[in-house]
Every structure is written in structure tokens, then in C-alpha cells.
Amino acid sequence: MSDAALEPFSPHADPAALDDLRARLLATRWPDAPEEAGWSLGADLDYLRELAAYWADGFDWTTQEIALARLPRYRARVGGLGIHLVHAPAAPSSAAASGVAIPLILTHGWPDSFWRFSKVIPLLTDPGAHGADPADAFEVVVPDMPGYGYSEHPSPALDSRAVAGLWSELMTALGHERFFAAGGDIGSHVSRYLALDHPERVVAVHRTDAGIPAPGADLSQLSPDERALVADAAQWNATEGAYGAMHRTKPQTAAFGLTDSPVGLLAWIVEKLRSWSDCGGDIEQSFTKDEILTNVTIYWLTGTIGSSMRMYNANSQLPSEQLARRVEVPSGFSIFPADIVRAPSDWLERSTNLVSATEPARGGHFAAFEEPELYAQELRDFFRPFRTQL
């Protein structure tokens, strides 16, 4: 893809849309809640009231929009869809130190967008400016998946394998036949399919989660730790997975309320940011109010909550044989301590060509945002031995 084919992209919210958002926030019809319920039944009423009040009369979206515009953002046509991406070159001093551009495509998950990697991008493109080795720099590509952020909404929704195919096209268009891939949450699945379906192109792949054995797997063939993983995942689904069941089965029903009510959208996303991060129960140990609201406001202004949820439905229809494939591309994992379900080494070795697995000291499901320095170092360390293969 020539530079001309990448159209610079710097969105500006319509003031009328922001006025409408504020009016809706101020007109919220609040639910009741049992005394002392806190977060035990879902989003905490008192915290949501506080956060919504700040969203209406304290949060400055224009300031956040300007900050995000400092990233080199573009739109491109890929597979017939308009894809929004950050395409950040390595810093000149770093590129000189490494001798070659090292392309890395990062894929986000739900409930987020390119926002997930907004803190880590400069650490990866210019490590020398952040106390790391300039030779570890990457050329970073961070697309919004179709139906998320500022990318177009596909109809019907695409599954993770189809998105991986788009990313392969995107990297070709950007001039990269060989590249690295990394991601978490749904982005981990997309990165997995990049490695599975395009192994001649993906030199190495890094993920923060590894999934679980495919439905119908013979548990007797699994190790005790792997059987414990299956049991842990089932327990997690029983206590925390209602949102996923909704997304997989009837996402359009939830989309009506979440697209219409900013506080409904806020509750749906904030509860997950708190539950899945390494915050010890205090969400603002991991995310400031401005950070939370930046993520949620992107969803609100782009109207992508429904289209993002529909990807779960698309993924639920992937055949089990696709879920059971083994990744032969060299694979690395960073298993953060507060992530949702933490896979044991037995499963990592069974399901991938495992060359590295680490357990960082801090971080949860949104590690790239929660602990950007740690996450950046994990990527530098894992990919360093493979740089000469590009």
C-alpha cells in the first residue's frame, strides 16, 4: 500500500452528538440496588452515579480526542471494508540501530479498540526514549477490528479467522510479507489464526491467553493441570460469563438498550474493566476516570457496541476442528496474574509450538493498558531472537 492509499484520519466529534450525550446522562433513569450490594450483583450503583456525573460535567472529550490524534492514524480499504488503524514507524534513531523495520501487528479485544494499545505504542516504536534498547524498536500496526472503534461495521459480522485474513491483506498492502503478531482476548484468537493460516508470513506470535480445549475434547487425554483449566473455565463461565452468553446468542437484544443509554453502555463495559484487571477491586487502581471514559466514549460515538458483540456470535459458529488446530509458528505467552483464566504450561505446549512462557508480576486482562512498560518489555524480550528471520 502506498502512503497515498493510507488516508490520514483524525475524527472530530459533532458538538451536537456531545450535547445529546450529556442530555442523556443527565436524564438517566437509575435502577434501585440492595443496600451494600456494591459490585456483587454487577455494576455498583454509587460508582456509576459518580462516573456518569463526571462524564456529563467534568470529562473533556475534546482533550482526549486531541491526545489520540497524536498517534499516526489512518483509514484504508481492506477486503472491501474501511479499516481504521494506527501505523507508527520506528523512531529514526531506533530504525538505524536495528538496521531494518520490524513490523508488528497488535490486535485488541472486547470491550475496547485501538485504545488498548494507545499507551504501549510509543514504548514499542521508540524504546530508546523510554530507557530500553533502541535496537528493539518495532514498526507498529494497530487496526480496529471490523465493527469496533472507527472501522466499518461488517454485515454479517466476521469471525476471528476472517479478521486474520484481512490482517494478512493489510500487511501485504503495507509492504510486509513477513511480520510479527500479538494480541489478547479476541485479539489473541485473531493472532492465532494469522499464525495458523499464514505460517509462511508470521515469524512468531505472542499472546496473553491461550483459550481452552475445544468442545468435545477427550478429557482423559489431558493432564491434570489441563483438566483443571477446563474446570476453571466452566466455573468462570457459570459466575462471570453471562455477558458472553448474551453476545453469542442474542447480541441484538442487548444492543438496543446499550446503544440508546450511555449509562447502560458504561455499566456494561466498566464492570468488565474492573473484574478483569489487576485492580484489587478498585477500578481506579488500573484506569483513571478519563481513561475509562475515553474507551466508553469511543464506543458511544461510533455506535459499535452492537457490532462488536456480534463478533461473539460469529465466533461461536467456528467449527470445532478450527479450535483444535495446533499453532506451529513459534509462540510465546505472557500469562498475567489477574487475567481471566490462566492456562498451564501443559496446555500451552500441547496447543502451540511453545518457545517462551512468562508470568509477569502485575497486570490483568488489559495488560497492554494496565502495565504498558511490562507489556512492552515482554514483547521486546520474546521477539528479539526472531528479528534476524525477517
Which conformational region is residue 80 in: left (phi greater than 0), alpha (psi within -120 to 50 degrees), or beta? left
Active site residue ranges: 185, 312, 365
The C-alpha cell at 110 is 472486547
**Secondary structure (3-state) at 345:** helix
Burial class (CB in 10 A: 0-12, 13-18, 19+), 388: exposed
CA distance 104 to 96: 17
The Cβ-side half-sphere exposure at 90, using a 13 Å CA radius, reads 22
Which uninterrupted H or E stretch holds 105?
A: strand 103-107
Cα first-last separation, the chain = 19
The C-alpha cell at 309 is 458483540
Burial class (CB in 10 A: 0-12, 13-18, 19+), 326: exposed
Residue 356 and residue 204 in contact, taking contact as beta carbons nearer than 8 Å: no
Helices 289-302 + 262-276 axis angle, to 10: 130
CA distance 179 to 163: 16
